[in-house]
Amino acid sequence: MVPEYSLPFITNQALINFIRPFCSFYSNDIKIKAFDFLDALNNNPQQFHKQGKVILITADTPLQASRGEGKTTATIALTDALRSRGIDAVAVLRQPSMGITAAGTKGGASGGGEASLQDSTLADFGLFGEMSRIGEAQNLIVAHAEQAFEKGLLDTITIPRVFEIPSRALRHITVFSSTQRSTEEQGVLTPTCEMMQILTLSRSKHDIQNAIDHMTVGEYQGKPVLAQELLDSQNVMKILGDSCDPMLLKTKAGSPVYMHCGPFANVSLGIPSILSIQLACALHDVVLVEAGYGADAGAEKYLDIAVRGYQAPMPQAAVVVSRATTWLDNPKLQWRYTFNISQLEKNSIPCIPLINLWQGEEQLESTLRNYAYATGLREPLIGDLYTHGGEILTNQIDSLLSLLDQEKISHHAIHFKTLAEKIENLILTSYGVPKERIQYQTSFKESYLHVCSLLKDLHYEDINSLCINAIKSPSTITDNDELEADQRTVTLKKIRLYTGANLLSINLTTSLTTPMPKIAD
């Protein structure tokens, strides 16, 4: 039983009584059995069931992959600012990767200074073991695949082994059977694994179990083999356990924060789980959702995968965060900020710039405002969020509040006849490069034919049911962002099918996908 004082963010006593049985109390934090709660809420519609409006918090394309623009800090500061104005607002954050963010030079993903979580160390270093459970769940399937390979029931193992601490040496390994047959295996970080993608996109426990059943584990005589042919997915569900449930944390100022599922919008989805967003929308009026890296990465995936593919709520507005140095330091890259904002505006999502000032940048405020006006952007929010937190934004958010007063925005589905059409549309709408300037490596053409063969074997009839997950450098949009707009290209390198998550991952651009940060001592 959770004490009443642990749910101060809910003012409706009937709702407190309704949600309490679905809560588990961990020290000062709460884990909510969101699937069960939402099912119960849908089966017993009450007057207190809210329909919160989503604000998407994303960023400019960073100059360096290992340097954040301040999305989490901005998300927390804005949540605190909205609540100080009497708005029932909540933040929904991605869970950081312990291996790269918390233990690397980039730092954690729990905000900073006055705009941070109360339990930042807990959040940065694995919460209550959710990441480990997700990795172990996929590794159980890998173990069954290895056993099948040992018995000669698989020719290759395609499902990657999962680990949380980065290791280049384990990215590609060779395994041998007792008869000395060998096959290559891959190793991936937990936030990038298919199990994490499944958990992020699922809307029910049935969705998770069905997706696990349909994960491709390997191939036998050129045909795909699914997980349901090797093991009972109920056992995988038992390992996942309460990693399926979001955590409720608090900011330093006491605002509620849901945290669930992983980061890395360059090589994975980079968004919180749809489940945590649904939960937040049922309990609050305004829901601030963090989308990883830039608008060309996490925000694109939220719109193209979560919203259009999995019916997540359409954002009512977006806030695009940038550091002053990112915006002004390289004249050849200044186009990216206005481009990122304009692409969201073209999706009918009003975009507000937010300039996250760092120490010593305060004198740039007038320059930044003038530049925003000159480039036709909306009135920017500007402040040193680390030092002042949400307080510095409290009197700047009138324009954001006016956007929330408007009617909810709806999305329009786009249907494609071919996979090629779908890829070309993504590159044009997200990166501004037409199909005439898309370049293809031989490896892409080979993998494309292989994916088409797998789709045929698996009897996929509707290409629109598959979402594209772009795998690319977080710090570039095209092959060379310093070229003029009519010279920019996008190179396609490889395509891979994930049948459980229902995703097509496409490696693109000539830049490195994941530059490894230095691990902290």
Domains of the chain, by residue range, sit at 1-48, 50-118+251-404, 130-242, 419-508
CB atoms within 10 A of CB 489: 17
What is the CATH class of 419-508?
A: alpha beta
HEC assignment per residue over 470-507: EECCCCCCCCCCCCCHHHCCEEEEEEEEECCCCEEEEE
**Amino acid residing at 468:** I
- Report which secondary-structure segment, H or E, holds 387: helix 385-388
pLDDT digits (tens, 9 = 90+) for 194-211: 999 999 999 999 999 999
Residue 170 has pLDDT above 80, yes or no: no
pLDDT digits (tens, 9 = 90+) for 43-83: 876 656 788 999 999 999 988 766 678 899 999 999 999 99
**Token pair for residue 131?**
């990441």
Given pLDDT bands bounded at 50, 70 and 90, which one contains residue 100?
Answer: low
- Cα 469 from Cα 301, distance rounded (Å): 7
- The answer to whether 450 touches 492, Cβ cutoff 8 Å, is no
pLDDT at 211 (0 to 100): 96
Given pLDDT bands bounded at 50, 70 and 90, which one contains residue 514?
Answer: low
Tell which residue, 143, 373, 116, 384, has the closest CA to residue 255: 116
CATH superfamily of domain region 130-242: Domain 2, N(10)-formyltetrahydrofolate synthetase (3.30.1510.10)
Residue 493 has pLDDT above 70, yes or no: yes
CB atoms within 10 A of CB 91: 33
- Cα 84 from Cα 498, distance rounded (Å): 43
Collapse the DSSP code of 40 into the 3-class scheme (helix H, G, I; strand E, B; otherwise coil) and give the result. helix
What is the pairing mode between strands 115-116 and 111-112?
antiparallel
Structural fold of domain 50-118+251-404? Rossmann fold (3.40.50)
- The answer to whether 202 touches 500, Cβ cutoff 8 Å, is no
Q: pTM above 0.95? A: no
**Token pair for residue 362?**
């305060």
What sign does the dihedral 500-501-502-505 (CA atoms) show?
negative
